[in-house]
């Protein structure tokens, strides 16, 4: 059976980009593949976090993933730091990736330009991500378009390790969705919608009040030529609305554009489609929130299942690289 793994950081509120670019596809994957999904709390530590907020965000994100449709009885849902093998394999990955490769990562450039404190871990972050993926003999990694470069690096590192030390890791492939792979900020449509870009009016939180979501979409930046067509290069704002509408209604952006001649109705229908998508998620989240102990129990079961796979692969890697067995 195909093995799938993906991860998401508890670094802020889940937004529509995370949902359409990643999480929604995980919900489908869990029924078709042996699937592992982790809340990557160690990755969130690459920027300074308030400890209490990190704990709350980690639990809340797990609940939100369940509310979005991940079923812990079907997939393996766990917290990255609960499986010690991730940090251990990350060291072996740091020893396999080159400084030059890490320096070419555009996410590092973007994030380090904006950060006040640039941790060493922000730079080596892709080594930990490679460990997350390679620990599970992963075939497919469903992610948004922004993770393409990290996935390429993971493949290169796996291939290099295998050729230096013998066949150890499965070489994974990225799975990037056709619609929703790159949801843009509503106010600055040349930037991707992001947890860490400080743009509350441009970001649709999955838990935002529905009235606020309607307002944000009505105020989304468009352009002045009044034409409705999908053309991200010259019409980024309108194209972003079409992508969102398409992803929420199971069509292509070109199909979604058909029949519209004015921005008003396009915005109204996009808002309605987003509200329809988020309403059941918000309802289910409220129920789950009432029982944090149950979520913690589910995550412990997930961590045990994950560790049993990860420990085996880590053992293989330790052995291949020449660490003395104890």
Spatial CA neighbour of 213 closest among 284, 268, 283, 285 = 268
209-216 contacts at long range (C-beta below 8 A, 24 or more positions apart): 210/275, 210/278, 210/279, 210/282, 213/271, 213/274, 213/275, 213/278, 214/271, 214/275, 216/186
Q: Which is nearer to ligand ATP, 182 or 267 (CB)?
A: 182
Give the burial string for 51-88 (b: 16+ CB within 10 Å, else e): eeeeeebbbbbbbbbbbbbbebeebbbbbbbbbebbeb
Q: Report the interface residues with ligand LTN, using CB under 6 A.
A: 5-7, 9, 40, 43, 129, 132-133, 141, 143, 147, 150
Of 177-206, which residues contact ligand ATP (CB under 6 A)? 181-183, 192-196
Residue 195 a catalytic site member: yes
* Three-state SS at 79: strand
Any catalytic annotation for residue 192? yes
- The site partner of 150 among ligand LTN, ligand ATP, none (C-beta below 5 to 8 Å per kind) is ligand LTN
Catalytic residue among 114, 195, 216, 305: 195
Closest-approach residue to ligand ATP (CB): 21
Q: Residue 30 has which token pair? A: 């869990």
Q: Is residue 144 a contact residue for ligand ATP (CB under 6 A)?
A: yes
Residue 193 binding partner per list ligand ATP, ligand LTN, none, with a CB distance cut-off of 5 to 8 Å that depends on partner kind: ligand ATP
146 near ligand ATP, rule: CB under 6 A? yes
> Residue 211 and residue 282: Cα distance in Å, rounded?
13
Minimum separation from the CB atom of position 73 to ligand LTN (A) = 22
281 binds, among ligand LTN, ligand ATP, none (CB under 5 to 8 A by kind): none
Q: Using the rule CB under 6 A, which residue among 147, 154, 239, 240 binds ligand ATP?
A: 147
Tell me which of 4, 13, 18, 168 binds ligand ATP, using CB under 6 A: 18
What tokens appear for 291 in the block? 């029982």
> Is the Cβ of residue 133 or residue 246 nearer to ligand LTN in the bound state?
133
Q: What is the DSSP string of 98-116?
A: -HHHHHT-HHHHHHHHH-S
The residues assigned a catalytic role are 111, 192, 195
């Amino acid at each position: 059976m195909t093995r799938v793994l993906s991860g998401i950081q508890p670094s802020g509120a889940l937004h529509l980009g995370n949902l359409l670019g990643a999480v929604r596809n995980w919900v489908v994957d869990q029924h078709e593949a042996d699937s592992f999904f982790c809340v990557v709390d160690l990755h969130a530590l690459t920027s300074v976090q308030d400890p209490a907020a990190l704990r709350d965000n980690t639990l809340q994100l797990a609940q939100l993933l369940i509310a979005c449709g991940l079923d812990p009885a079907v997939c393996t849902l766990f917290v990255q730091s609960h499986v010690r093998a991730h940090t251990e394999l990350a060291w072996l990955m740091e020893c396999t990736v080159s400084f030059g490769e890490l320096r070419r990562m555009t996410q590092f450039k973007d994030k380090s330009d904006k950060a006040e404190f640039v941790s060493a871990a922000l730079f080596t972050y892709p080594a930990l991500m490679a460990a997350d993926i390679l620990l599970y003999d992963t075939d497919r990694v469903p992610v948004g378009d922004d993770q393409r470069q990290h996935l390429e690096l993971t493949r290169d590192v796996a291939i290099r390790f295998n050729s230096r030390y013998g066949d150890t890791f499965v070489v994974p492939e990225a799975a990037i969705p056709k619609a929703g792979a790159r949801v843009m900020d509503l106010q600055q449509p040349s930037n991707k919608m992001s947890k860490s870009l400080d743009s509350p009016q441009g970001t649709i939180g999955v838990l935002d009040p529905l009235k606020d979501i309607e307002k944000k979409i009505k105020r989304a930046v468009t352009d002045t030529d009044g034409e409705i067509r999908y053309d991200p290069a010259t019409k980024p704002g309108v194209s972003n609305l079409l992508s969102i509408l398409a992803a929420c209604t199971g069509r292509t952006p070109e199909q979604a554009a058909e029949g519209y001649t004015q921005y008003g109705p396009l915005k109204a229908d996009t808002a309605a489609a987003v509200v329809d998508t988020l309403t059941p998620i918000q309802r289910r989240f409220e129920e789950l929130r009432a029982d944090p102990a149950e979520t913690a129990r589910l995550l412990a079961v997930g961590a045990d299942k994950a560790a049993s796979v990860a420990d085996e692969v880590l053992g293989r890697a330790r052995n291949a690289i020449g660490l003395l067995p104890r």
